[in-house]
Amino acid sequence: MVSAIKQVPEPQGQNPSEAPEGPGGSDMPRGTDGPHAQAAHPTPEHIAPEHTDALSGGLAGLPLRVRIWKRRALIVSLRVLRLVRTGLDRVFPGIRFLLRTLQRRWRRSLQFRTVLTTLLLSISSFAIVGAYLSNQIANNLFQERLTQAESETRYNVKQVQDTFDGAQVTDQSSVITLVYDTLNAVEGRGSVIQRRYVFEAMPEQTKPRNRWVESRASDQLTVSVIPKDLRAAVQDSGKDQFWASMQFPVGTEDRPGIAVGNKVTFNGTVYELYLIYDLDTAQQTLDEIQNVLWAGGAALIIMIGGIAWYVTRNVVSPVSHAAVVSEKLAAGQLQERMVVKGEDEVARLGASFNHMAASLQEQITQLATLSQMQQRFVSDVSHELRTPLTTVRMAAEVLYDARDDFDPINKRSAELLYNQVERFQSLLADLLEISRFDAGVAMLDAEATDIVQLVSHVMEGAAPVAEEYGSAMTLNAPEGSTVVEMDARRIDRILRNLVLNALEHGEGKPVNISVASNATAVAVTVRDHGIGMTPAEAARVFDRFWRADPARARTTGGSGLGLSIATEDTKLHSGWLQAWGNKGVGSNFRLTLPLKQGGTITKSPLQLEPADVALPGAVDRTVLVLGNPDTDGVPEGRQGTAAPRDTDVAPAGDVAPERAATGERS
Amino acid sequence: MKARILVVDDDEALAEMIGIVLRNDGFEPVFCADGGQALDIFRSSKPDLVLLDLMLPGTDGIEVCRQIRSESDVPIVMLTAKSDTSDVVRGLESGADDYVPKPFKPAELVARVRARLRPGDQKAPETLRIADVTIDVAGHAVSRGSERISLTPLEFDLLVALARKPWQVFTRELLLEQVWGYRHAADTRLVNVHVQRLRSKIERDPEAPEVVLTVRGVGYKAGS
């Protein structure tokens, strides 16, 4: 018998990956598929008819029931669907919020991104390593058990065969006793069953045979637990030994095991003898190892996550700290510094950052001090100049008043002195005003005031000058009052400046003043039809000390700061002051103010470019926008009668009449 | 009789020039160059009006103004080189009736002085009422019930101007013209400060005025 045993190493040799799966998984029989796959697979065809028989009992009321059941199924499924949908509706916003939060964190936090990436990578690499380890261990455990099982089987089968061969067959009971005793001995001694057996007579034996013993098995096992492939292999072969992974019931549970099959002959009858080896202990060992792997893996991943978090925090936190500090610096908190610890790269970053901040602070402070000193100097000079200037002015005026008693030379001198002191005083006043703006001490003293009344007042004040130039002034304003929150003193100054400028450069042509308001803003335009401005001139008209024509400016006087001060006054009101000019056609200045302080202007109620200008001169037209660029163009709320159609070209040689006193105006 | 004017200014040249101008216009100037002595000279000379420079060595102009106002209702006109709102308002609040910013014209100065000296000469016996306040125009007295309220001449003029035409709303410009004597527009802060001072004296609750009412966007009017 011994010689007849043939080992079948192929299953695990050819299919090493499949074999170890057995002990680990529940589908152990697959391990045997290898070389015996071609073995017969009797399909249980009888099952189907049995089923129809069982159903045929209630065939009569079937259509009705089917319909009822269909309806019920429909209702139930609809309800389930609705439940699921409402559930999802509740859950979805939460999930979306969570996803968005995660996405934002992913985008915004380098640390989060690094930690998450590290975790995902380590989880996947650990899964690969764990699977490989687990696989290897399972494989080895199985191989070991299999080798043991095969050698033990060979020995035991030989024992059984020897006992059977030497047995004296006399009567039934002794035969039964002999067989049972022999087989029970196979189970091994002691309380633990080392191996189980299934002893079964080969079917379809024609030879005279032993009818006393048909089959026998340990516990409650039957031959059905033996895989069919194995049985077929055993039955078909001669005296070879085969094995297969299988499952067998012990108590209420199924256990993995290895069945090793042989043939034994007793008294001329061929029996199949299968010895079943329990893999439970191996499985337990494997489970334990896997548990250890799981626990170790989880611990390792948590540790890796923690380490990644710690390391990135160490690197990232100085960077984010630097970001916070630089934001504060940018916001003007110049004393902000980074915390510097150690001597590493991060510390170097911090140190150089602090160095940069310090030098920045120093320079800014120096600049601020310088500019403050300069402004203070200008202011002090202006103040200190005022007292002697007052004396000079009074003296000049006394002389001027008495000029008729002087000879012509002294008289003219007194006049010149008087006029130039006036001019000097005006310049000084403007300088002081500008220095106040530069120092940032100009305060807005806003109060609700009727701007139409203010405009009328300004026009009244300018009436003598208008008469002097021979210009007519027209006012185009809405009925009633237009109350604006403004500093009347400053707005008065701006408008007076604009009106006097318009008269001065108007060459005796009419000056049109318009007032209009919309929901958020009020606008005043001052339009003249005089010499106008070129685009380049209009662009510079608000610059300090700028003059369109230096030669001309001498005679008309003014400090050259009037429009600069007007610009500053407008800025203080968060308004717009804009100029439009066209050489020979005239110019238009527009002041737009928010109705309430703190309000914003979306659109000026009046057009900057006058409607009475012929469009073809597009090349010559120029628009200078100060402050917020607006999207004007549509005359909103424009008052009934627009400025008269007066686009005459200024006649050559038409010189504005001389003015006696121009000192107050710029 | 020549009106006597005390000129408190540390700048000798300016003081002298002011003196020339004032003399030229028929006033009698008295000079003081030091804020510390201003009060003594004020007491001894008994001027009809004080021209006071705000920037003085020793005691500063504001303090001098306060001292003089504490013992006299004499009109005070400040001379100021600073036209910053805060300085002007501080000066007015310390009791000055008017101010002339440097550099000023002689005519301007004289006009201011004359306006302040213009006494309520042709005042007919007349009694006016605003709310629960009684004004005796000729007697230059204001009272609420039996309680007498002390006002400076300027404050009195302001109140009388409002009380004479209780139906009219006075713009600040109109008040400047009627009370201060400005022909052209001047600093309307004068009106604001003096209305506040007036209110602090005659109103029961200056936060909720009943005598001098504000008409938003226009000006002031008398309470009914």
**Is B151 part of the contact surface with chain A (CB cutoff 8 Å)?**
no
- Averaged pLDDT of chain A: 77
Q: Which two tokens stand for residue A230?
A: 């194995």
Reported confidence tier of residue B106, pLDDT bands at 50, 70, 90 = confident
Q: Which residue of B8, B79, B218 is the best one to mutate when testing the A interface, meaning the one whose CB has the most A CBs within 10 A?
A: B218
Tokens of A424: 């000097």
For residues A261 and A199, give the distance between their C-alpha atoms in angstroms, rounded to a whole number.
Answer: 10
- Which residue matches tokens 């302040």? B116
pLDDT digits 0-9 by tens, A455-502: 998 998 889 989 988 889 999 888 888 888 888 889 998 999 999 888
Q: Examine the domain organization and report whether B59 and B152 are in the same domain.
A: no
pLDDT single digits (tens) A210-232: 666 777 787 778 888 888 888 88
Regarding whether B173 and B99 lie in a shared domain, the answer is no
User: For chain A, how many structural domains are there in total?
Assistant: 3
CATH code for the domain of A399:
1.10.287.130
DSSP string, A411-437: HHHHHHHHHHHHHHHHHHHHHHHHHHH
pLDDT higher than 70, residue A167: yes
Residues A428 and A452 in one domain: no
The residue written with tokens 């020339």 in the block is B20
State the pLDDT confidence band at A14, using cuts at 50, 70 and 90: very low
- Domain containing B33 equals 3-117
**Per-residue pLDDT band at A423 (split at 50, 70, 90):** confident
Same domain, A308 and A429: no
Alpha-carbon A256 to chain mean position: 53
The reply to whether A475 falls in a domain is: yes
pLDDT recorded at residue B176: 83
Taking contacts as CB-CB distances below 8 angstroms, the residues of chain A near B18 are 394
Phi-psi region of A370 (alpha: psi -120 to 50; beta: other; left: phi over 0): alpha
A640 domain-assigned: no
Question: Which tops the pLDDT comparison, B224 or A136?
Answer: A136
Same domain, B89 and B152: no
Do B16 and B106 lie in one domain? The reply is yes
Whether B122 is in a domain gets the answer: no
Question: Does residue A41 lie in a domain region?
Answer: no
SS3 for B208? Answer: coil
> Of B91, B117, B143, which one is at a domain's C-terminal end?
B117
Give chain A positions within 8 Å (CB) of B21.
394, 398
Interface confidence (ipTM) of the complex? 0.74
Contact of A335 with A328, CB cutoff 8 Å: no
- B81 and chain A in contact, CB less than 8 A: yes
Kindly state whether residues B107 and B7 are assigned to the same domain: yes
**Where in A345-482 does DSSP place strands (E)?**
447-450, 473-476
- Interface contact A480, partner B, CB < 8 A: no
Contact B20 A393 (CB under 8 A): no
Q: Does residue A511 sit in the same domain as residue A578?
A: yes
Q: How confident is the model at residue A61 (pLDDT cuts 50, 70, 90)?
A: low
Say which CATH number the domain at A120 has: 3.30.450.20
Residue B82 and residue B63 share a domain: yes
HSE-up of residue B149 (Cα within 13 Å, Cβ side): 22
Q: Is residue A663 part of a domain?
A: no
Residue A635 domain-assigned (yes or no): no
Q: How far is CA B220 from CA A126, A488, B159, B171, B213, in A?
A: 87, 16, 11, 6, 6
B215 vs A: CB within 8 A: no
Residue B138 sits at the chain A interface (C-beta within 8 Å): no
Q: What is the pLDDT of residue A123?
A: 92
Q: Which of A441, A464, A489 is the last residue of a domain?
A: A441
pTM: 0.51
- Say whether residue A390 is in contact with chain B using an 8 A CB cutoff: yes
Does one domain contain both B143 and B40?
A: no
Position B7 scores a pLDDT of: 92
CATH of the domain at A492: 3.30.565.10
Q: A411: domain range?
A: 337-441
Residues B91 and B173 in one domain: no
Cis peptide before A610, with omega less than 30 degrees from 0?
no
Pick among B78, B83, B90, B182 to test the A interface (most A CBs inside 10 A) = B83
Q: Indicate whether A307 and A346 sit together in one domain.
A: no
A634 occurs within a structural domain: no
Q: What is the pLDDT of residues A137-156, one digit of tens each?
A: 989 988 988 998 889 888 88
Question: Which of B117, B135, B169 is the endpoint of a domain?
Answer: B117
CATH number of the CATH domain containing B191: 1.10.10.10
Task: Find the residue in B nearest to A449 (Cα).
Answer: B217
Residue A94 sits in the same domain as residue A156? yes
* Eight-state DSSP code of residue A167: -
CATH number at residue B44: 3.40.50.2300
**Shared-domain flag, residues A1 and A12:** yes
- CA–CA min distance B101, chain A (Å): 9
B35 and B111 co-located in one domain: yes
Q: Which of A383, A386, A484 to substitute to test the interface with B, most B CBs within 10 Å? A: A386
Collapsed DSSP state (helix, strand, coil) of residue B137: coil
Quick one: A188 and A328 in the same domain?
yes
Contact B52, B77 (CB under 8 A): yes
Q: Does residue A639 sit within a domain?
A: no
In angstroms, the separation between the Cα of residue A473 and the nearest Cα of chain B is: 20
- State the nearest Cα–Cα gap between A459 and chain B, in angstroms: 13
Count Cβ atoms below 10 Å from residue A534 Cβ, excluding itself. 15
B89 shares a domain with B8: yes
Considering A402, A423, A441, which residue would you say is the last residue of a domain? A441
| Distance in Å, alpha carbon of A394 to nearest chain B alpha carbon | 5
Selection from A371, A489, A494, A381 nearest residue A439 by Cα: A371
Same domain flag for B41 and B76: yes
Is residue A51 one of the residues assigned to a domain? no
Q: Tally the domains of chain B.
A: 2
Instruction: Clarify whether residues B16 and B111 are in a common domain.
Output: yes
Among A441, A458, A479, the domain-final residue is: A441
**B21: nearest CB among A394, A425, A461:** A394
Query: pLDDT tens, A96-151?
Result: 889 998 888 888 888 888 888 999 999 999 899 989 998 999 899 889 889 988 89
B216 and chain A in contact, CB less than 8 A: yes
Mutate to test the interface with B, among A390, A399, A420, A491 (most CBs of B within 10 A): A390
